[in-house]
Amino acid sequence: MKHDLLNSPTRDVLTKMSIPSGLGILSLLVFNLADTYFVSLLGTEPLAALSFTFPITFIITSILIGLGVGLSASLARIIGQGEQHNVADFVVNALLLGLITAISLSTLGYFSITPLFTAMGAKPSLLPYISDYLQVWYIAILFLVIPMIGNNALRATGNTKFPSILMAVAGLINVILDPIFIFGLGPIPAMGIQGAAVATLFSWALSMVGALILLKRSKLIAWVSLNWQQAVTVWRKVLKIGRPAALSQMINPLANAILMTMIANYDTAAVAAYGVGMRIESLMLIAILALSSSLTPFIAQNLGAGQVTRAKQALIGSAHFSLLCQLGFYLLIAVFAYPIAGLFSDDESVIEYLVIFLWLVPVAYGALGVVILVANSLNAFNRPGSSLLVNMARLFLIMLPMAWLGNILLGATGIFAAIAIANILIGGACYILALKVSEGKAH
């Protein structure tokens, strides 16, 4: 189903685009939470090992997300300007860029597992678990390139339903396969933490097949003659937005890796709790992530068609939605913090750390949502550098220095409090920026 991004009422079209996107994102988050839940049944050490891998796997997927954002924004502008020719060439060359990037990153990651995680503070007892998981995951990520980047091409055309169904099916397959490969079933041996990565590989491989079918039916890919000069031209257009978008996306997991290193100074339970907290955070931000995935192509198409006021109104309205929506989610999570923590561990230390996280960090998710929406929308306004600066300021000028101070004063609790305060401060700044953009004062 395609939506008319240029003429339908703004609230209606964003809602209709965001709901299927939200369901698709929800399936991926359930996918991640399923990994976390089933691995937690293996014990605190495997859970802590999986938590250590989160920042690194997020960095790689963030780079692919950035390339997808570059493709989506560029393609949406082309469509908004009425230039439909050579769309398939554009998409195919963008996918090729993604594959080359993923192969390079996987190769580098595969051969640096032990030194990297030792430097991050992982105890020697955790390294075998980390290695077992990542050796398979680095192969699995190659199958995610086409679904992740290709889905952005579909969204650029206003099609959010079928990419979301594809993501939902992949998530369901992963949930089914996780316990089979982790604990074993019939002739399939118990693989432990490595089984979670094997389940991921199978589900992503199937989603790749589905994505190729969708892209072909939507005429977004075709058999094309690869031309080096044409490929470089497309890569430059995608990277103009995709490179700063990827860097912007990478900053979060990079900061999480630094925070994880700080937390590792306490004990394995704190690391495990922080890893679970990061997965719950993604679930709580699902409405914002869905809206953001719809808002970027909406703004880009309207700007391409010269409907600037419509694009700006969508931005400020989305910021208001974030503040109200996330307040409701926080009240819910704060009340049920202990039962939620108990789902992921029976270790009292892990539970206590996770409850503190859930009481402190989510209070700022409304502000964080504003940051996400504004930063992503700046890509559509063809200001990827500003988007990157927003995220860099949040993490390196505010969050990490405050986390360092909080670490000294209150330990892990101080780090969690610093994350919340930093998000509130930069969220306020981004809201002011959104107001200026909506009033036409920022160019």
Using one digit for the tens of pLDDT, what is the confidence trace for 234-264? 888 888 877 777 777 777 778 888 888 888 8
What confidence tens digit (pLDDT) does each residue in 103-122 have? 999 999 999 999 999 988 88
Q: Which residues pair with 188 in a beta bridge?
A: 185
Lowest-confidence pick of 39-48, 144-153, 326-335: 144-153
Q: Where are the alpha helices (DSSP H) in 336-383?
A: 337-344, 348-360, 365-380
Q: What is the mean pLDDT of residues 112-141?
A: 93
Mean pLDDT confidence for 206-213: 90
User: ∠ CA 336-338-339 to the nearest 5 degrees?
Assistant: 70
CA 317 to chain centre: 22
The rounded mean pLDDT for the chain is 83
Determine the average pLDDT of the residues in 78-90. 69
The closest alpha carbon to 430, from 366, 362, 361, belongs to: 366
The residue among 308 and 369 whose pLDDT is bigger is: 369
Domain boundaries, the chain: 10-438
Query: What is the structure's pLDDT at 126?
Result: 93
Work out the burial of residue 240: count CB atoms within 10 Å of its CB; fewer than 13 is exposed, 13-18 middle, 19 or more buried.
Answer: middle
Q: What is the model's pLDDT at position 140?
A: 94
Q: What is the pLDDT of residue 443?
A: 42
- Span 347-400, pLDDT tens digits: 899 899 999 999 999 999 999 999 988 887 887 776 767 777 888 888 888 999
